[in-house]
Structure 1
Amino acid sequence: MSRTILKNTKVVNEGRVFETDVLLEGEHISRIDRDISHSEATVIDLKGDLLLPGVIDDQVHFREPGLTHKGTIASESRAAIAGGITTFMEQPNTNPQTTTIAKLEEKFATAAQGSFANYSFLFGGTNDNLEELKRLDKNACSGVKLFLGSSTGNMLVDDEMVLEKIFRNTELVISTHCEDEGTIRANTAKYKEQFGDDIPIKYHPIIRSAEACYLSSSKAIALAKKTGARLHVFHLSTGIETDLFTNAIPLEEKKITSEVCIHHLWYSDEDYDKKGTLIKWNPAVKTKTDREKLWEALLDDRIDVVATDHAPHTLEEKDNPYTKAPSGGPLVQHALQAMLQKEKEGKIELTKVVEKMCHNPAKLFDIDRRGYIREGYFADLVQVDPNSKNEVKKANIFYKCGWSPFEGVTFDTQIMRTFVNGLLAYDQGGFAAERRAKRLTFNR
């Protein structure tokens, strides 16, 4: 059994920051204490750096199978561990889509061969796969994904009778992409009549409007309340949607939860002039007021989770007129640093970053022994130098697509090391030849 002692670190965990040593034995954390020693252990001096639980990203698009020119499970999970993300949940809108149990298991087999980070997948609900969904074991994967507005791929669920049956027939968390399709189509037609395909990007948040988001989110929440389903609304982008959620009860008791993504906390519609289609996402980045309301809801616990919605495209694909440029962008390598930058700016407490990116996804999806630094838990850990500047540039980007919306940004922190199930998987720019990533298990 491998043994590693992490010396001289400040652990950030469960609302506390404290100095300690941490002993890793095999895949697990075996002891958290001062002055640990062991004759057979490798000692790594963290020199006072922070030690965080590995980040759990509940929403990524790693593009495999079928879209592997943009990214693969191997390439994007490699970038993820360089950014301190040790666990991901990948979405079903690949090619073919993950809408059968057989295709779901094929993805697990691919990840078992190539992933650098722990993994699970969401099963895609459609207008015609309810019987397959009923056969899905509640511990088979992280949850069910429904597109209630079109996005990349063609998985729109617009049959209201089917939608209610899905809500009534699964014990899994139902995660939703909420944008009202009718509103979006009408807005698109209006601006396409005026501009053709080359609609100025500044109209993206008007086409995919706050109204479209609110109509869809409120409908999903009403259906969840009617049916008793467990609902998680992905990537909130508007201030008005935040009022649909509560902070009156603890997360463990919530039946309806929500997530915000890095880009909606970082950018606003004022950034379209500079960034163009590089920051074209669905839902769209909206106003500074929306961004501020999202921050308020995150800090007061109406929003439960911070994720990435990592969705790479090539620069050639992005460099198209509005109607042909795909939505999405790569984020897993820099998401934790982006949140730590906001901590440096006084926007959020360090312990709150860990709560929203590590603890809460583990709670929300009932993940077995991850998301915390606890004895007996899997040793998924991230060493962060809190006082080291790091500029994002093409030479240090690990995404297969080779670009980042953060290029040119200098972060005031650096991800130094990442441990995955006790393995030093990422070490100051280098990656271990061994891979120890595991399929997630759940306590359901």
Structure 2
Amino acid sequence: MTSTLIVNARLVNEGREFDGDLRFADGRIELIGDGLAAKPGETVIDANGRRLLPGMIDDQVHFREPGMEYKADIATESAAAVAGGLTSFMDMPNTRPPTLDSAALEDKYRRAAGRAWGNYGFYHGASNDNLEAIRALDPKAAPGIKVFMGASTGNMLVDDPATLDAIFRDTPVPIITHCEDTPMIDATLAEYRAKYGDDIPVECHPDIRSREACIKSTRLALELARRHGTRLHVLHISTADELALFEKGPLIRADGSRKQITAETCVHFLHFARPDYARLGNFIKCNPAIKDVSDRDAIIRALADDVLDVLATDHAPHTLEEKNKPYIDAPSGLPLVQYALNLALEKVHDGLLTTAQVVQKFAHAPAQLFDVERRGFLREGYAADLVLVEDTPFTVQRSDVLSKCGWSPFEGMTFRSRIASTWVNGVLAWDGEKLVGAPQGQRLTFDR
């Protein structure tokens, strides 16, 4: 394979932005420097001062395969992801059937091989009755164990206290949790049904899936993790109230140790808030719910202040037909991967985050948290998963959406930055306008 040299780039990596050049060959970054001379026959790309980032690693997606391919699949959703600068993804286990044993896990890896545009990892799920499968899991086979401490698709709500305790005690990999208290949500939903019948306004969603339900469940997860010394990652923080529960400071401390308990938020919690339900309705219905403006603003500050460690998407597409049902029947979740990095960069334009902070939360931190081997950084010898960003505005059109569901909550929104190019394992996958070539995604490996 011939090498490629990107010159005159603004590299963003490990807290720094600096001008330089980067060469990659055979799928790896070969050299980073300044004033690098082209080799004979080498492909040279002039970045003209555009920002060059490591590919984003999305540690929370629902690509719906197997079992729900009518709304999404690994091929379509990973294509949308690389168009958005996301070069690696970690997919959730609440598929049909759920990923509750090693056979189901390896089936998903087989499905991704040759079809995934980005690099792929798959979580092993937890249920009330698969403790032995969790204990037997090879730590190199999955990024973590997903524990739904709130209602989910399929047989995956873990609500037996003894089972929860044993999972936290015996897991061989980090635990990631969806924290919402299901009995509390069910009781509140019953109250709203009594008031509205089946015609509940979607604006009630953040009250039904309340902040109290989030806080109660998150406290339980943290108590279990502290009791057993478990590495715990709490997903999609949606309230300002939960932020006080987490340690402030870098993921990797000055002494080289890593936080035991970490938290993430998602891109839609940086943008949407309660007033948007009036305009978008079920198109922003998700679990946990998008809440108040004050929550949104506190979450952005918590990212900047290193209270929240990771930024992800929770990409969870549904068809237009499903989303157009009444609130009580419309499923929760949004398609997000294609415009997630654009949305994060909007906060850079607004002066609320720096590009280096976005890269830390969306690339470096997921790699460090899940022990991903040689990805997530601009480092010599690391995989050439690269994203070139240019500050050229564009407006999202439905016809541009690559996710199988065919819609986006950002339709009509103008972003101030666009993804000019995405390389996966050193091969151009997105040229700024269209997908290029064939899928080049590889199975993620974990240094454990």
Q: Which residue of 1 aligns with 2:388?
A: 383
Alignment of 1:133-144 (within 5 A): 133-144=134-145
Q: Map Cα deviations across residues 233-283 of structure 1 (whole Å, 9 max, x no partner).
A: 000001110000001564342110000001111111111000000000000
Aligned to 2:295: 290
Q: Distance in 1 between matches of 2:72 and 2:172?
A: 31
**Cα distance in structure 2, aligned partners of 1:41 and 1:423:** 14
1:338 is the counterpart of 2:343: yes
In the superposition, the TM-score normalised over structure 2's length comes to 0.97
CA deviation vs aligned residue, 1:362-410 (integer Å, no higher than 9, x gap): 1111110111001000000000002x01110112111110000000100
**Are 2:436 and 1:432 aligned?**
yes
After superposition, the C-alpha distances for 1:18-46 in whole angstroms (9 at most, x for unaligned) are: 11111111110000112221113111222
Percent sequence identity over matched residues? 50
* Aligned counterpart, 1:116: 117
Q: Secondary structure at the match of 2:12?
A: strand
- In 2, Cα distance between equivalents of 1:390 and 1:103: 41
Which AA in structure 2 matches 1:9?
A: A
Q: Is the 8 A contact 1:3 1:26 kept in 2?
A: yes
Alignment match, 1:20: 20
* 1:128 matches 2:129: yes
Do residues 412 (structure 1) and 413 (structure 2) align? no
d(CA) in 1 for partners of 2:153, 2:147 = 13
- Report the Cα distance in structure 2 between the residues aligned to 1:39 and 1:113, rounded to whole angstroms: 32
SS in 1 for 2:236: strand
Whole-angstrom distance in 1 between the partners of 2:79 and 2:144: 23
Q: Specify whether residues 153 and 404 from structure 1 end up closer, same or farther in structure 2 by C-alpha distance, changes over 3 A only.
A: farther
Alpha carbons of structure 1 residues 308 and 364: separation in structure 2 relative to 1, 3 Å:
same
Structure-2 separation of matches of 1:167 and 1:226:
9
Correspondence 1:216-365 to 2 at 5 A? 216-248=217-249, 250-251=251-252, 252-365=257-370
Alpha-carbon deviation of 1:87?
0.3
Distance 1:269 1:151 in 2: 23
**Alignment length (residue pairs):** 443
CA distance in structure 2 between the aligned counterparts of 1:370 and 1:138, rounded to whole angstroms = 18
Worse-superposed segment, 248-257 or 102-111: 248-257
> How many Å separate the matches in 2 of 1:284 and 1:31?
44
Q: Deviations over 1:401-423 (max 9, x none)?
A: 00000001000111010000100
> Which residue of 2 is the match for residue 366 of structure 1?
371
Is the CA contact (8 Å cut-off) linking 1:425 and 1:431 kept in structure 2? yes
Q: Please report the TM-score for the alignment, with normalisation by the length of structure 1.
A: 0.98
Distance 2:250 2:354 in 1: 21
Deviation, structure 1 residue 198: 1.9
Is the contact made by 1:152 and 1:327 (CA closer than 8 Å) also made in structure 2?
Answer: no
Q: Structure 2 unaligned runs (5+)?
A: none
Contact 2:74 2:115 (C-alpha < 8 Å) held by counterparts: yes
Letter of the 1:203 partner, please give it. C
Contact 1:171 1:229 in 2 (8 A): no
Deviation at 1:2, TM superposition (A): 2.7
Tell me the distance in 2 between the aligned counterparts of 1:113 and 1:343.
35
Structure 1 residues without counterparts, runs of 5 or longer: none
Contact 1:152 1:326 in 2 (8 A): no
Partner Cα separation in structure 2 for residue 343 and residue 293 of structure 1: 16
**Following the alignment from structure 1 to structure 2, what is the Cα–Cα distance between the partners of residues 331 and 2?**
34
Cα distance, 1:73 vs. partner?
A: 0.2
Equivalent residue letter for 1:281: C
CA distance in 2, matches of 1:292, 1:84: 25
User: Is the CA contact (8 Å cut-off) linking 1:297 and 1:303 kept in structure 2?
Assistant: yes
Could you give the per-residue CA deviations for residues 98-130 of structure 1, whole angstroms, max 9, x where no partner exists? 111101000000111310000001100000000
